[in-house]
Amino acid sequence: MIKNKNVFWTCVAILACILWGVSSLCAKIVFNLGPSTNALFVSQVRMLGSGLILLVMAAMLKSGPFSVWKNKKDAILITLAAILGTIPLQFAYYMAVETGNPASATVLQFVGPFFTIALQAVMQKVWPNRSDFIAAIIAFLGIILLATNGHLHELAIKPVVIFWGLLSAVGVATNAVLVQKILQHKHSPVAVSAWQILLAGIVLVILHPTHGKIDYNLAFILPMTFIIVMGTIVPYILANNALKHISATTFTITDAFEPVAAMIGSAVLFNLQMTPAYLLGAFLVVFSVLFMSIVPVIVVWRKQLG
């Protein structure tokens, strides 16, 4: 029974990751509608819409939607998480999708755990272990193959795509570290996510409040609705429920389905030509993160076995 339960929640986690990957394809569709429906505008709509809905959900669940503002330290942390975590995590990622393609953007963002390790090493003054260094080297080789498509003398991916993709990976790290600190104070994950997403959207609107003419037709409304509901709120709920039943290591493995879904979708919808070098590079990046997650578990098993 327990085994079947684990299989079920693992499948739930996989579905969440696939939805995240598919949402990047919808974002690319919106970007292609015109210059006004760009990464900034889509990020603003996504953050404001998702944040407000999650805040209402937190209120309906009676999970302390305003509790993070009752403590000055938590209020500062949630603000920093929005600016330094959510904005690069979501906006920079969409910039990578807009200037490049969903597949490359997702694979580049997938190296976020390495920035998390580096950030924690600096904050906690703990040197990364050998397996992390090996995984980082593998990821670096994978990124080189992605960027050059196997031709080391020229770039196959524009430098601006690499910049935004890696910046979104940095956002993964800062977001994880800051949000973890907030959640240690027993706040509701729904309320914390609601505020960090909503605040990030408000900051982006303040920085750039106006846009060109937007055609609010079905071609815009349908993919945008998918991004907010099926690409943000639903996978968040699925992922958090799955994490109650499966380990973080297992979830990291299922997260590999996100770049896979983005690559398959990019090939089908946007005719992305994936050469053997590109596929190998993507595989190395994904494998490096899985390697980094699985090795510590294997070490523990060996100690337990004797």
Cβ proximity of 166 and 46 under 8 Å = no
Please tell me whether residue 33 adopts helix, strand or coil conformation.
coil
Q: By mean pLDDT, which of 55-59, 251-255, 271-275 is the weakest?
A: 251-255
Q: Say yes or no to pLDDT of 5 above 80.
A: no
Short-list 220, 187, 297, CA closest to 29: 220
User: What is the band of 83 on the pLDDT scale with cuts at 50, 70, 90?
Assistant: very high
Percent of the chain residues topping a pLDDT of 90: 51
Q: Say yes or no to pLDDT of 224 above 90.
A: yes
pLDDT for 305: 64
Summarize the confidence of residues 23-30 as an average pLDDT: 95
Q: What is the dihedral of CA 275, 277, 283, 288, to 10 degrees?
A: -160
pLDDT for 306: 57
pLDDT for 3: 58
Mean pLDDT of the chain: 88
User: What is the band of 119 on the pLDDT scale with cuts at 50, 70, 90?
Assistant: confident
User: Encoding tokens for residue 168?
Assistant: 């979104």
User: What is the band of 124 on the pLDDT scale with cuts at 50, 70, 90?
Assistant: confident
pLDDT for 52: 95
Summarize the confidence of residues 78-82 as an average pLDDT: 94
pLDDT for 141: 92
Summarize the confidence of residues 14-32 as an average pLDDT: 94
Q: By mean pLDDT, which of 39-53, 173-187, 221-235, 261-275 is the weakest?
A: 173-187
Q: Where is pLDDT greater, at 170 or 236?
A: 170
Q: What is the DSSP string of 183-225?
A: HTTT--HHHHHHHHHHHHHHHHHHHS---S----SHHHHHHHH
Summarize the confidence of residues 21-40 as an average pLDDT: 94
Q: By mean pLDDT, which of 53-57, 90-94, 182-186 is the weakest?
A: 182-186
Q: What is the pTM assigned to this prediction?
A: 0.88
Query: What CA–CA distance (Å, rounded) separates 125 from 262?
Result: 36
pLDDT for 4: 67
